[in-house]
Amino acid sequence: AQTVTQSQPEMSVQEAETVTLSCTYDTSESDYYLFWYKQPPSRQMILVIRQEAYKQQNATENRFSVNFQKAAKSFSLKISDSQLGDAAMYFCAYSTGGTYKYIFGTGTRLKVLA
């Protein structure tokens, strides 16, 4: 069975600094998708970034980028130039290609210090 593990329950970063959130997953599939979602205190889950497993190039979205290590089954999120608005719960998620089932990690709470 597929699993998603986020080993950091909580992280802190100074404003304007860079932080990396870890995510590992376990699967025997070769075709899958990985996601990072952000959940601020408003509870609205928002997609931050998405990575297709068949793509070797790491996805980037402005200040957000991933380090996708397929062999190691690792999918970390790097936030550069952290802003106060980045403070939220971050969830890593996995979905096997061609299915609708998503598996979420338990989340990492990110605090941004002014």
Partner 1 sequence: GAGVSQSPSNKVTEKGKDVELRCDPISGHTALYWYRQSLGQGLEFLIYFQGNSAPDKSGLPSDRFSAERTGGSVSTLTIQRTQQEDSAVYLCASSSLAFSYEQYFGPGTRLTVT
Indicate which single residue of 42, 71, 72, 114 sits in contact with partner 1 (rule: CB under 8 A): 42
Indicate which single residue of 82, 96, 110, 112 sits in contact with partner 1 (rule: CB under 8 A): 96
Question: Considering only CA atoms, which of 58, 40, 30 is closest in space to residue 107?
Answer: 40
Cα-Cα-Cα-Cα dihedral sign, residues 105, 46, 43, 63: positive
Under 8 Å between Cβ of 19 and 82: yes
Indicate which single residue of 20, 22, 33, 73 sits in contact with partner 1 (rule: CB under 8 A): 33
Q: Whole-angstrom Cα distance, residue 38 to residue 47?
A: 6
Residues 66-95 that bind partner 1 (CB under 8 A): 91, 95
Q: How far is the CB of 46 from partner 1 (least distance, A)?
A: 8
Q: How many residues bind partner 1 (CB under 8 A)?
A: 25
Backbone angles phi, psi at 71, to 5 degrees: -65, -35
Query: Footprint of partner 1 on this chain (CB under 8 A)?
Result: 4, 32-33, 35, 37, 42-47, 50, 91, 95-102, 104-107
